[in-house]
Amino acid sequence: MQDPNNSFPFDIRDVEGTDDKELSKYFLGAGNFSIQVGPKKYLLMSDYKHDAENIYNMRLRYDDIFVVTYPRSGTTWTQELVWLLASDLDYSTAEKIPLSSRSIFLEQVIVSLPISVRNISLMLQLPRFPMLMHKNIVEHLDKEHADKPENLKNLQLMRTPGSEQVARIPSPRFIRTHLPLSLLPPTLLDTTKVVYVARDPRDVAVSYYYLSSEFKSYNFNGDFKSYWRLFVKDLVYWSPFFEHLKEAWQMRHHPNLLFLFYEELLQNLPATVQRVADFLGKEYKADQIAELCTHLKFENFKKNPSVGIDNLKEYGMMAPKGEFIRKGKSGGWRDYFDEEMTREAQLWIDNNLQDTDMRFPSMQ
């Protein structure tokens, strides 16, 4: 039950019964460590409840810029686009400082740790995953790094609440999150600018399946058909998918929210970049927009070490051959869906879109 004295307005409850058994079956240790939040039952890992109120009531700044997405919807691509447009196309800084440090993930913040390599002082940029590091995962990683004291120390640091770290970041802050608008501060759109990106759910599911299979925080151990079944039942993290999107779609006319489709970035990157620039109040010449599009071209973006998270492989948090940035395409889901899944997916999509005029460019 909701505590009337709590300034977080939604109830948080453990996932139980059949749903908990399914999570336990397919995700490493997820059983008894998953929660559902509010009337829409957003599925999150249990550590969220320790930071839910702090995030909901976080102090916003008027120069904050948020990138909000459901996972695997073009988040990283949009982060780099937004940061460069808002930062006067500072490619030099973008090359020197990892995107994960320039645009902070609210559910994962970055800590700078001093290290010494051959008597040279360096700063190690280490991600923290307080909401993706439930007890069983921590125990699993601790065993893997039992003979590496420094790694054990760093793994412990990863459990620091994101809201604490974001509050210390100097302005202007670039913040990304997979949390839906309803779980973010209610004054968000009246205070800051928000870029929201949506993507065809079938492509999202394929990309999310690969991440979930390769990332230790998920460690999914089933095939894609099993994953899709969980996806449409809202049993993957940050679901339900359509409720997440609809919240933003309903606010798309707010002057401080720009609603984009991933497919728009693919189909006409220059025009979409211009829309984002206009939204941020930035003016650039045509040749500058063209240069940025070249920087963001997927073949170039995938090779850009500043936007990857390969350092997670060192800590065993990602499979050695895992790809955080995969193919950057639309319609790839057709290679994974059989005829029955295709029919079921279309019915699921139609049922969820019947009460809204939202349509994905890939479906028009």
In this structure, are residues 240 and 25 in contact, taking their beta carbons and an 8 Å threshold? no
SS3 sequence of 79-92: HHHHHHHHCCCCHH
> Rounded to whole angstroms, how far apart are CA atoms 78 and 275?
12
Pairing of strands 257-261, 174-177: unpaired
Q: Which amino acid is at 360?
A: F
Cβ contacts of residue 281 below 8 Å, gap of 6+? Answer: none
> Token pair of 95, please?
């090359």
Name the DSSP letter for residue 318. B
pLDDT top residue among 240 and 143: 240
Cβ contacts of residue 133 below 8 Å, gap of 6+? Answer: 45, 47, 158, 159, 217
> Rounded to whole angstroms, how far apart are CA atoms 322 and 305?
15
> Token pair of 155, please?
């793994």
DSSP conformation letters of 108-168 = BEEEEEEEEETTEEEEEEEEE-TTS--HHHHHHHHHHTTT-HHHHHHHHHTTS-HHHHHHH
Domains and CATH numbers, the chain: 59-363 (3.40.50.300)
> Token pair of 326, please?
């995969």
> Rounded to whole angstroms, how far apart are CA atoms 258 and 29?
37
> Token pair of 34, please?
């998953």
Q: What percent of the chain has pLDDT over 90?
A: 57
> Tens digit of pLDDT for each residue in 164-177?
878 888 999 999 99
Per-residue b or e along 276-285, where b marks 16 or more CB atoms closer than 10 Å to that residue's CB: bbebeeeebe
Name the DSSP letter for residue 52. H
> Tens digit of pLDDT for each residue in 75-96?
999 999 999 999 999 999 999 9
Whether the upstream peptide bond of residue 240 has omega within 30° of 0, thus cis, is yes
> Rounded to whole angstroms, how far apart are CA atoms 136 and 142?
10
> Tens digit of pLDDT for each residue in 309-355?
554 444 444 444 444 454 557 888 999 999 999 999 999 999 999 99
Only one residue has tokens 């990892």, namely 98
H helices within the chain, ranges in order?
17-26, 52-56, 75-86, 91-96, 99-102, 135-144, 149-157, 162-168, 188-191, 201-214, 224-232, 241-249, 262-267, 269-279, 286-296, 298-303, 311-314, 339-353
In this structure, are residues 318 and 215 in contact, taking their beta carbons and an 8 Å threshold? yes
Q: What is the mean pLDDT of residues 134-148?
A: 57
Question: How far, CA to CA in Å, does 26 sit from each of 72, 157, 171, 287?
Answer: 19, 27, 41, 49
Write the burial class of residue 299 (CB in 10 Å: 0-12 exposed, 13-18 middle, 19+ buried).
Answer: exposed
Nearest to 267, CA basis, from 362, 135, 160, 131: 362
Q: Is the dihedral of CA 309, 312, 317, 322 positive or negative?
A: positive
Average pLDDT over the chain, rounded to whole?
82
Global confidence as pTM: 0.83
> Tens digit of pLDDT for each residue in 32-52?
678 999 999 999 988 888 899
> Sorting pLDDT into bands at 50, 70 and 90, what band is 305?
confident
